[in-house]
Amino acid sequence: MLTRQVQYAAIWGVLSITFLWSSSVAVAAELNQLNKQPSKNTTELSNDNANDLPPQSASDHQGNRITLPTETSSALEYRADDIYLKPSLQQHIDANQSPHFSSSQTRPSMVDDPSCRWLNNRIKHLQKKQRQTQHSQFSHYQDEIDIREDEWACLKCATSGPGNVDRGACQHKR
């Protein structure tokens, strides 16, 4: 004897198959009616009538002409509103944008060289880390700053820039 769950599953399967069959018959009848209706536009697209089409035109799948816009415009037009900054916030932003170099470490101009840019960013990063941690156990920051500043001077990053020989001679040996 079948269990009650198997009986329910069998009944459910028979009902769903019956429903699917009846709905497919209804859909087939609707499609048959659509196919019997004559098309309003009997123009078929082919290579023979391609020369009859006006230049710079587009047509849909039935050969009807699609009108193209005469003036071009962007798909997205957006203008952000100007933001209002409180005077105290503006002063804070202006203060943080000033360079953090001491007078002996000021670099007014820098040669456009990848090594010089890297050294400049590395020195800035190390100085920032040193300011954040004012403990004697982090004295390795100052040691590396001294090494990088010696490389900066040797590579002549503030004046003429490094030569081919300078790159190997100025690199810190570990």
Query: What are the pLDDT digits (tens) for 72-103?
Result: 777 777 777 777 777 777 777 777 665 555 44
Amino acid at 159: T
């470490």: which residue's tokens?
Answer: 105
Under the banding of pLDDT at 50, 70 and 90, the label for residue 147 is very high
What is the mean predicted confidence (pLDDT) over 146-165? 87
Under the banding of pLDDT at 50, 70 and 90, the label for residue 158 is confident
Query: pTM here?
Result: 0.38
Please work out, in degrees rounded to the nearest 5, the angle formed at the alpha carbon of residue 20 by the alpha carbons of 14 and 26. 140
Phi, psi of 5 (to 5 degrees): -65, -40
Under the banding of pLDDT at 50, 70 and 90, the label for residue 104 is very low
**In residues, how long is the chain?**
174
Average pLDDT across the chain, whole number: 75
